[in-house]
A and B are shown apart, each in its own frame.
Chain A
Amino acid sequence: MASFSSNEWKAVCAKFTNAQQLSDVESRTDPENDPFRSKYKARELLTEIYCSLKNFEAGDGEEHDDGETSEPEPTEEPLDGEKPVDLDAFSRGWSSDSRAGLRAARLAAVEYYLGVNHVDTEELSAGQEHLMNCMKHLGKCRVSSENVSLFIHVRNQLGILWAGRDETEKSQGFLETAESIYQRYMKENGSPPTDMTEYFCSEENQLTHQERTKKFELAYTHTLYYLAQVYQYFGENERAANYCYSTLQRQLQLNQFNPMEWALNAATLSQYYITKGQYMEGRHCLAAATVISGLAGEVPSEAERDRREQLKQKRSEIARCWIKYCLNLLRDAKKLLEDNIGELDTDRQDELRRARRREEEEEGRKQALLFGSEDTFDSIASVEEKVILGILIRKACFLYLSASLSVIHPKAKEHFQMDGFVTDHIEILQDHSALFRALAFFEEDVERRCKMHKRRVDMLEPICNDLNSQYYLLIRRQLMFELAETYNEMMDLKLTLANRQEDSQSLDNHTIKKFNHLCSASAKYFQMFLDSLCSPEGKIPEHLEEDVLRPALVARFRVARLHSKLISSSPPVQLDNLNKALENYKYVVQYCEAHPEAAAAAETELELSKEMVGLLPLKINRLKARMATNN
C-alpha cells in the first residue's frame, strides 16, 4: 500500500534518477570492450521501476489494474505503423489528471525509456516493442499538458527507428503525427507541458515553466530536423530545405545554438536557396549568418591561436557564401537581361527592376519565415536592408557590389591565404574575377568596362604563372583559358572604343600597339593552354579527352582568329600571321575529320573554320603575288 509520498515511491524516484545518470553520463566512459555496461545497468533499474509501478497501483485498488486487455480503451492501434493523422487523442481517452491517466502516463514513460535504452544497445526489435507499448499506454489517454511531451518524444524515437530500417514511409508517418500533435496542442492549449522526468521526482524538484518550455520545444525542433532528413531521403529537397530553415529558426528563437555553427549552417543553407533562384531567402540566411557570427565574439588574441584561426576561417567561409550570392545573382540577372547578341538590354532592365522592387516590397516581407530572436532580429534586418538598397538602386548596384567586394574579399581571403590554402585562395580569386566579368556586363562605359577586365588580368596573371603545373594542372588550365578570354575581351573593347572615337580616320600608332599587345597576349594564353595538353615531350595528343575537347578546339579557333587580326604593315609579317591562322583553322577541320564525334562539340567553330580554310589560301596567294610585284 504505497502512496506517492511514501518511502517506496521515493525509492522509485531515486532509482529513476540513477538510471538517467547511468544512461546519459556514465555510459560515455564505458570501456571499448564493454560499451553498454552502464546502459544495461540502467535497463535493470528501469525494469524494476516498471514492476513496482504496476504493484503500486494494483495494490491501490484501482479498477484498471494490470489486466490491460479488459479495459474499455480506445481503438487498438496498428502494431507497427502510425495512422496518417491520429488526432483522436485530443478528444478521447482518459484525462491525464485522473488516476488512471497518470498511471498510464507513468507506465508509458518507463516503456519509453526502456525502448530508447534497447535502441541504444542496438536491440532494435526489443526497443520497438517497448516504444509500441508506450504508444499503447498513451493511446488510452487524452493529450494534455501532462503528457504531450511524451506523445512527441515517443514518435520521434519511432521515426528514427523505422528510418534506420529503411522504412522511411513509416518513419514519416510517426514524425508527421508528432508535428501535428505539437501544432494542435500549441493552438488549443499552449501551456508549458510537464516533462517526462517530472513523473518521477518529488514536488520540490519540479521544473520551472521556462525549463519545461525549453525541453518541450527542443523535442519538437528535433521532430522538424528528422522530418527534414526524411524529406531529403524522398528527394523532396525544397521541403527538406524549409524544414532545415525551420530548425535553424527555432534554434535561434529558443536560444539553443552555438553562434559560429549556426552561422555556418545558415550560410550553407543560403547556397541552397541561391541555386534555386530564391535570392530573397538566400540573402536573409546570409544576413543572419553575418549577424550571428558576430555574436561569437571578437577575434581572440594571438595567444589562443587555434581558436583565432578557426574563427577567422569560419568568417571567411561566410564571406565566400556571400560572394557566391552576388555572383549568382549577377549571372542570373545577366541571363535575363541579355539581348540576342549578348549585350545589355536596358529597357528590359528597367522593367524587371520595377517588377522586382514591387515583389520585394509587397510580398517579400510578408514571408512567414524570418529568422530572429528579439535581440538579433533588428540587426539582421538592417544588414539585409543595406543589401537590398544596394541592389535595388540603379548604378548603386555596381557601387554596392564593388564596395562590398572590397569588404568581402579581404575577409574571405583573410584565412585562405595563398601560402597554405592555395586551392581555396585561387577559388576566391576566380570568383572575384567572375564577379568583375558579370559586373562588366552591366557597365555601359566601355572605358570602365575595360578597366574591370584589366583588374581580372591583374588578379589572375601572377598566380597562373606561380603555380606548379604538376600539382595544379587543371587550375592552371582554367586560369589560362580565362586570361586568354579576358585579353580577347579587352581587345574587342579597345577596338570598339577606337572605332567610336575616330570613325573615319585610321587607327593611330598607340592604339594599334595596344591592340596588338592584347591580341598577342590572348593568343599566348590560348597557346599555353594548348601546350598544357601536350605530352612532356611536346607532342600534341592524337585524341583529346572529353573534358578538354571543346576548350581545345575553341582555343585553336580563337588562336587562328587572333593571328589574322594582328595588325601589321609589313607583308612578310602579315604572311606569317596568315599562315599561322591557316594552320590552326586546318587543325580544327582535320581533327574533326579524324574524329567525327568531335564535330558536335564545336559545330559553329568547325563550320567557320572550314570556310576560312577555303578562303585564307586565296588571301595568302594574293598577298604573295603583291609581295612579288613590289619586289
Chain B
Amino acid sequence: MPGHKHEKQEVSDNVKVVVRCRPLNQREKMTGFKQAVTVDEIRGTITVNKFETAQEPPKTFTFDTVFGPESKQLDVYNLTARPIVDSVLEGYNGTIFAYGQTGTGKTFTMEGVRAVPELRGIIPNSFAHIFGHIAKAEGDTRFLVRVSYLEIYNEEVRDLLGKDQMQRLEVKERPDIGVYIKDLTSYAANNADDMDRIMTVGHKNRSVGATNMNEHSSRSHAIFTVTIEYSEKGLDGNQHVRMGKLHLVDLAGSERQGKTGATGQRLKEATKINLSLSTLGNVISALVDGKSTHVPYRNSKLTRLLQDSLGGNSKTMMCANIGPADYNYDETISTLRYANRAKNIKNKARINEDPKDALLRQFQKEIEDLRKKLEEGEEISGSEGSGSEEMDEGDDEAGEPGEGRRRRKGLRFVTKMAIRFDSQIKKKVSPDKMVEMQAKIEEERKALEAKLDMEEEERNKARAELEKREKDLIKAQQEHQLLLEKLSTLEKKVIVGGVDLLAKAEEQEKLLEESNNELEERRRRAEQLRKELEEKEQERLDIEEKYTSLQEEAQGKTKKLKKVWTMLMAAKSEVSKIILETAGIIAVIKTGLETFKATIGKWSLKCLEAELSRIYSINNHEEKKGACLC
C-alpha cells in the first residue's frame, strides 16, 4: 500500500467533533418559535442567542466542522465520516457517534431516508463506500465484511440480530481480540443490500423489545459494528491480513432525564442534588481524583465497550446534533458544552517514567571521563571490563517475546483461517502420512500375528491399542473432511476484490464520489470565499483606518476652519470698523475739501480780485501811463 496514506497516523488522534443544526420544523414555524442558533460554516462557529433575557450576550462555540440547517447529507458524510471509513479500510478502528437531544436529527444524520439516495445518512453511505472500495480493489485482495448490532439499555446488552431477544449478553475482554461481547451474533455481508437488510432486522428487534418505541430509543444506545478484514499479497509474496472495525453509535438522547410524560411538563430544571442515599457512591467518587487511585464502578457498559474509541487507539468522530429553536436553549447549550469537552478527550494512558536523576548525573560523569580520556589520547577499549570472546554473543536466555507478539497479532481472517486449516490438515493428517500410518498399522498387525506366543492378555491390549489408533485415523479423516467443508463455506463468504457486487451500491457510491468531487470543488470555492472574505475584511479594516484618519483630518480641518473663521470674522469686523473709520475720514476730508474748495474759491476770487485789482491798477497805471503817454 502506498505509504502516504499512513501519514494520517501522525495527525492528532483527538476526537474530531462536528456539530449539525437541523432546520426549524413545520410545527416550530407554525408556533412561531424563533431561530436562536446561527451557524457560520466558513468560520466553523455556532452562536446561540437567548431571547428571554436580552442582556445576556450570545454564546459562541468553535468546532472542527459545523453544518447549518441547509447542509446536505452527502456533504455531511464526505466531510466527516469518509476519512474515518477510509482509515477503517486501511485497518484502523473507527467510531462515529451521534449525540444530542431527542428530536434534533440524530437518526436523520445516522440513517436518513433510505429510499432517496440524496437523503441517505451516514450508515447507508458508509455501506456504499465500503463496497465501492472493495469493488475497486485489486483482484488478489480478499475481503470479509461482518456486521453485528447491539443495544445497551439500562446497563444491559441485547443482541439485536440474535435469535433470542430476551438474552442478556456480557461484555468481556481478551488479550488477543480486545473488548468483545460474548455470544454476539455477527453476519457476513456480501454487498450493501445485505447490510441494509441486516440493519432492518435489527431495527425491528429494537422496537419489539420495547413497549414505547420513542421513549425506549431515546434512552438506549445502539451500536452497529462493521468488521472489515482483508488480505493482500505483500511484496514478500505472503498474504498480509488486516482488520478494521467501524462502530456506528447512536447514543441515547442527551436530555436530562426527569420523569416526563404526556401530562407533566418537561422538567426544565433537573435537580442538582442526588436525593437518595443509594447514590452516595457517585457523590464520593466525584471527589476522587482519578490519578493514582482506584474508583470502583466508574465504567459503564458503553464506555467499556468503546474504551479504545474514546481516547484510545482509534479514529473517532462525534457528531453533536442540536435544534435551532429558542425553547431548546438550555439543551442546546449543554450539548455544545459537552461537544466542546469531547474535543479535549485525550489518552489517559500515559507513560509513567521513572525519574532517573541519579542516572543522568552518573552519565554526566561518564562523559567527563570519556572526554578526559580522549583528550589525553589514552587507549580506549570498547569494553569497560575485559570480556572474553564469547561474551558478546546475543543472549539466548532473553527469548524472543517480539515473535510471540507478532504471532498473536495475526488478525483473524478467513483466508488466514483457511491457510491455517490447510496447514492443520497437513500437519495433522496429510494424505501421505495417512497412507504411511495405515502401512504402519498393517505392519504392526503382522508383527503382532507373528508373535503368536505372546500372552493373550497382552495381545488384546495391543489390539485395543491398534483399534484405537485406527479409530483415531478415521476420526482424523473425518476431521479433515469437516475442515475442508468449513473451508469451502468460509471461502464462499470471502469476497474477492474487484468482483462486481455493486449493483445498487454502485449508484450510491457513484453518488458519493460525485458529491465528494463536488464537495472538493465547493471546498475550494469556500476556501476562496473565505480568503475573499478575509481580504474584504482586511480592506474594510484598511478603509476604516483610512476613514478614521480622514475623519481625524476633517476634525483638524474643522478646528482650523473655525479658527480661521473667527480670524476672518475678526478681520471682517476690523474691516468694517476701518471702513467706518475711513468713511468718517472721507467725510472729514470731504468737508475739508469742501472748505478747501470754498477757501480755494474764496482765494481764487480774492486772487482774481487781487489780480483784477492789480490788472486794474496796472491798467490804471497804464492808463495813467497811457494817459501820461498820450
Chain A residues with CB under 8 Å of chain B are 32-36, 121-122, 124, 159-160, 163-166, 168, 171, 221-222, 225-226, 228-230, 232-233, 237, 240-241, 244, 247-248, 251, 261, 264-265, 267-269, 271-272, 274-275, 314, 317-318, 320-321, 323-324, 327-328, 331, 341-343, 418-423, 437, 461, 463-475, 477-478, 481-482, 485, 489, 492, 506-507, 509, 512-513, 516-517, 520-521, 524, 528, 535-537, 539, 541-543, 545, 547-548, 550-551, 554, 561, 565-571, 573-575, 577-578, 604-605, 608, 611-612, 615, 618-619, 622-623, 626
* Most A CB within 10 A of own CB, among B260, B274, B395: B395
User: Are A509's CB and B388's CB within 8 A?
Assistant: yes
Cβ-closest chain B residue relative to A575: B382
User: Are B283's CB and A485's CB within 8 A?
Assistant: no
13 other A-B residue contacts (CB within 8 Å) besides A244-B287, A521-B395 = A36-B263, A122-B259, A240-B283, A251-B277, A265-B284, A324-B293, A469-B409, A481-B351, A535-B9, A569-B381, A574-B383, A604-B360, A615-B374
Task: Enumerate the 5 nearest inter-chain pairs by beta-carbon distance, A residue then B residue, closest first.
Answer: A574-B382, A471-B178, A568-B392, A317-B296, A474-B349
User: Are B273's CB and A160's CB within 8 A?
Assistant: yes
User: Are B272's CB and A233's CB within 8 A?
Assistant: yes
Given A517-B398, A545-B12, A547-B350, residue A244 in contact with residue B283 (CB < 8 A): yes
Report B-chain residues with C-beta under 8 Å of the C-beta of A465.
401-402, 404-405, 408
* Most A CB within 10 A of own CB, among B215, B286, B397: B286
Q: List 11 A-B contacts (CB under 8 A).
A: A275-B291, A342-B355, A342-B356, A468-B175, A468-B176, A470-B313, A478-B351, A482-B352, A520-B395, A539-B3, A619-B370
Cβ-closest chain A residue relative to B240: A536
Is B592 on the interface with A (CB-CB < 8 A)? Answer: no
User: Are B353's CB and A569's CB within 8 A?
Assistant: no
The stretch that binds A, out of B53-61, B196-204, B361-369, is: B361-369
User: Are B277's CB and A221's CB within 8 A?
Assistant: yes
Per DSSP, chain B at the interface is loop
CA distance A82 to B406 in the complex (A): 68
Report A-chain residues with C-beta under 8 Å of the C-beta of B397.
517
Contacting residue for A569 out of B174, B262, B273, B389, CB 8 A: B389
CA distance A317 to B380 in the complex (A): 57
CA distance A574 to B292 in the complex (A): 43
Contacting residue for B408 out of A164, A343, A468, CB 8 A: A468
CA distance A542 to B6 in the complex (A): 12
Is B385 on the interface with A (CB-CB < 8 A)? Answer: yes
Chain B residues with CB under 8 Å of chain A are 1, 3, 6-7, 9-10, 12-13, 91, 93, 172-179, 211-212, 215, 242-243, 258-265, 267, 269-275, 277-278, 280-281, 283-289, 291-297, 307-308, 312-313, 346-347, 349-361, 363-364, 367, 370-371, 374, 379-392, 394-395, 397-398, 401-402, 404-405, 408-409, 411
Min CB distance, B148 to chain A, in Å? Answer: 16
Cβ-closest chain B residue relative to A321: B294
Min CB distance, A498 to chain B, in Å? Answer: 9
User: Are A615's CB and B370's CB within 8 A?
Assistant: yes
Given A265-B281, A516-B395, residue A164 in contact with residue B270 (CB < 8 A): yes
* Most B CB within 10 A of own CB, among A317, A485, A567, A619: A567
User: Are B296's CB and A321's CB within 8 A?
Assistant: yes
CA distance A611 to B386 in the complex (A): 26
User: Are A535's CB and B294's CB within 8 A?
Assistant: no
Report B-chain residues with C-beta under 8 Å of the C-beta of A168.
272
User: Are A571's CB and B382's CB within 8 A?
Assistant: yes
CA distance A232 to B273 in the complex (A): 10
User: Are A472's CB and B178's CB within 8 A?
Assistant: yes
CA distance A571 to B215 in the complex (A): 77
User: Are A166's CB and B272's CB within 8 A?
Assistant: yes
CA distance A464 to B404 in the complex (A): 10
Given A32-B261, A619-B380, residue A124 in contact with residue B292 (CB < 8 A): no
Min CB distance, B221 to chain A, in Å? Answer: 20
Given A509-B387, A537-B6, residue A467 in contact with residue B175 (CB < 8 A): yes
Given A163-B273, A569-B388, residue A470 in contact with residue B262 (CB < 8 A): no
Report B-chain residues with C-beta under 8 Å of the C-beta of A251.
277
User: Are B293's CB and A247's CB within 8 A?
Assistant: no
CA distance A228 to B287 in the complex (A): 10
Min CB distance, A555 to chain B, in Å? Answer: 9
CA distance A142 to B59 in the complex (A): 50
Given A267-B296, A464-B401, residue A481 in contact with residue B350 (CB < 8 A): no
Min CB distance, A534 to chain B, in Å? Answer: 9
Report B-chain residues with C-beta under 8 Å of the C-beta of A561.
363
User: Are A164's CB and B382's CB within 8 A?
Assistant: no
User: Are B313's CB and A473's CB within 8 A?
Assistant: yes
User: Are B383's CB and A568's CB within 8 A?
Assistant: yes
CA distance A207 to B284 in the complex (A): 34
CA distance A535 to B259 in the complex (A): 50
User: Are A159's CB and B273's CB within 8 A?
Assistant: yes
CA distance A341 to B357 in the complex (A): 7
Min CB distance, B87 to chain A, in Å? Answer: 11
Report B-chain residues with C-beta under 8 Å of the C-beta of A230.
273
User: Are A567's CB and B269's CB within 8 A?
Assistant: no
Min CB distance, A37 to chain B, in Å? Answer: 8
CA distance A160 to B270 in the complex (A): 11
Min CB distance, B392 to chain A, in Å? Answer: 4
Given A421-B173, A574-B382, residue A535 in contact with residue B392 (CB < 8 A): no
CA distance A32 to B242 in the complex (A): 48
Cβ-closest chain A residue relative to B285: A268
User: Are B385's CB and A122's CB within 8 A?
Assistant: no
* Most B CB within 10 A of own CB, among A232, A474, A575: A474
Cβ-closest chain A residue relative to B411: A470
Contacting residue for B371 out of A160, A541, A615, CB 8 A: A615
Given A542-B10, A567-B384, residue A513 in contact with residue B391 (CB < 8 A): yes
CA distance A386 to B379 in the complex (A): 60
Report B-chain residues with C-beta under 8 Å of the C-beta of A528.
402
User: Are B409's CB and A468's CB within 8 A?
Assistant: yes
Cβ-closest chain B residue relative to A515: B385
User: Are B283's CB and A225's CB within 8 A?
Assistant: yes
Contacting residue for B292 out of A247, A328, A517, CB 8 A: A328
Min CB distance, B185 to chain A, in Å? Answer: 20
Report B-chain residues with C-beta under 8 Å of the C-beta of A122.
258-259, 264-265, 267
Report A-chain residues with C-beta under 8 Å of the C-beta of B1.
537
CA distance A528 to B356 in the complex (A): 21
User: Are B278's CB and A261's CB within 8 A?
Assistant: yes
User: Are B6's CB and A539's CB within 8 A?
Assistant: yes
Cβ-closest chain A residue relative to B350: A547
Contacting residue for A423 out of B173, B243, B294, B295, CB 8 A: B173
User: Are A268's CB and B288's CB within 8 A?
Assistant: yes
User: Are B275's CB and A160's CB within 8 A?
Assistant: yes
User: Are A265's CB and B386's CB within 8 A?
Assistant: no
User: Are B287's CB and A232's CB within 8 A?
Assistant: yes
Given A122-B267, A463-B175, A567-B392, residue A275 in contact with residue B289 (CB < 8 A): yes
Report B-chain residues with C-beta under 8 Å of the C-beta of A233.
272
